[in-house]
Structure 1
Amino acid sequence: MNKEIESGSKSLKRDEMIKYAYDLFYRNGFHATGVDTITEGTGISKRTLYKHFTSKEGLITATIDHYHQLRYKAISDYLEKSTIRNPVDKALIIFDFLSALVNSGMLDGCFAMNAKTEYANKAKEIEAAYDTYVAAVQQLIESYLKEGKIADYKSIAMQVVMLFEGAIIRSKALGNSQPVKLAKAAAKVICNQ
């Protein structure tokens, strides 16, 4: 019984570090946020942090996984709860999801993409975590396009995701959702909708 309590306590500490670091990284960036800031904010020692994550990059990878869980669920729920019946149209409302985020003031971009950009060619585990997240989103789009009988649905889904990623970057740069609307229009053309 004590081992279960101890294990649960370790899991809570780990989760607390991930959530706290996630917020700091999203707000301040990855290089600008030091391990000291994270340990001071959580009251957890560096030793404990490094017991759970072998490095700062390990913590960043865990925060990307946290983002993946949150964002993928939010996207899939948004698509699934839509009353749109046509599966291709349903896939393309991923852009409406993004527009809603941008219009609500969420202009920090994609957390996972931000990490990959800051650590490009420097940390393979961070890049791999980003790639896993994008692959999951792409497979979600693929499933709707396949259901909609789109020929070469895998290639088309990749193009839709590329438009989605580009819309994230441009919306972040411009501070509005206009790029998202343009990306959705281009995605409709690609899908022959």
Structure 2
Amino acid sequence: MEKKINQVSKSQKRDEMIKSAYDIFYKNGFHATGVDAIVDSTGISKRTLYKHFTSKEGLIIAAVNYYHQIMYGAIADYIEKSAVDKPVDKALMIFDFLAGLVDAGNLHGCFAMNAKTEYARKAAEIESACDVHTNSLIELIEKYFLEAEIKESKVLSIQIIMLFEGAILRSKGTESSLPIQLAKSAAKVICSQY
């Protein structure tokens, strides 16, 4: 019983470190955040941090995975719980979800995109973790396009995600959801061609 309690305690400590690092990385960036800042915010020692994560990059990967889990789940739930019937309209709700985040003050952009940008061609494992998030969103969008019996569903899904990612970057820079609304309008035009 004591061993099981220790495992739960270690798991909780690991989760706390990930959540804390996630918050700090999201606000300050990855290169700008040193291990000392993470240690200071969590109250754990460097030794404990490195016991759970072999490196700062390992912690970043865990934070990207955490982001993917919460964000993908939130997007999928948002779409599934909507009253929208048409599959193409459901697919494009990803823009509505994003606009809601920006309008609520989330102006840090996409955590996975931020990590991928900072570590482009520098850390393949971090890039791979980021790609899981993007590819999952492409698959989610494609699911609705397949329901709509769109033959080029994969190509269209990639085009929509490209607009989505552009909208994320532009809304981050302008601190406005207008780029998201414009991207959704462009996505509707593209979808109408299929």
**TM-score, normalised with respect to structure 2:** 0.97
Q: What is the one-letter code of the residue matched to 1:146?
A: L
Deviations 1:139-183 (A, max 9, x none): 000001100111210110011011100100011111111111111
Deviations 1:46-81 (A, max 9, x none): 111111111000000000000001100110011001
2:137 alignment counterpart: 137
Corresponding position: 1:42 with 2:42: yes
Contact preservation (8 Å) 1:150, 1:191: no
Quote the sequence identity (%).
Answer: 64
Corresponding position: 1:95 with 2:95: yes
- Return the alpha-carbon distance in structure 1 between the equivalents of residues 170 and 26 of structure 2: 18
2:117 alignment counterpart: 117
Q: Give 5+ residue unaligned stretches, structure 1.
A: none
- Residue 121 of structure 1: how far off its partner (Å): 1.0
- Return the alpha-carbon distance in structure 1 between the equivalents of residues 89 and 153 of structure 2: 14
- Return the alpha-carbon distance in structure 2 between the equivalents of residues 113 and 126 of structure 1: 11
Q: What is the one-letter code of the residue matched to 2:152?
A: D
Q: Give 5+ residue unaligned stretches, structure 2.
A: none
The two structures, once aligned, show a CA RMSD in angstroms of 0.9
Aligned residues: 193
2:21 alignment counterpart: 21
The structure 1 segments of at least 4 consecutive aligned residues displaced by more than 2 Å after TM superposition are none
- Return the alpha-carbon distance in structure 2 between the equivalents of residues 160 and 171 of structure 1: 16
1:80 alignment counterpart: 80
Q: Superposition pairs for residues 148-187 of structure 1, below 5 Å?
A: 148-187=148-187
2:31 alignment counterpart: 31
Deviations 1:22-65 (A, max 9, x none): 00011111111111111121111111111111100000000000
- Return the alpha-carbon distance in structure 2 between the equivalents of residues 41 and 87 of structure 1: 44
2:10 alignment counterpart: 10
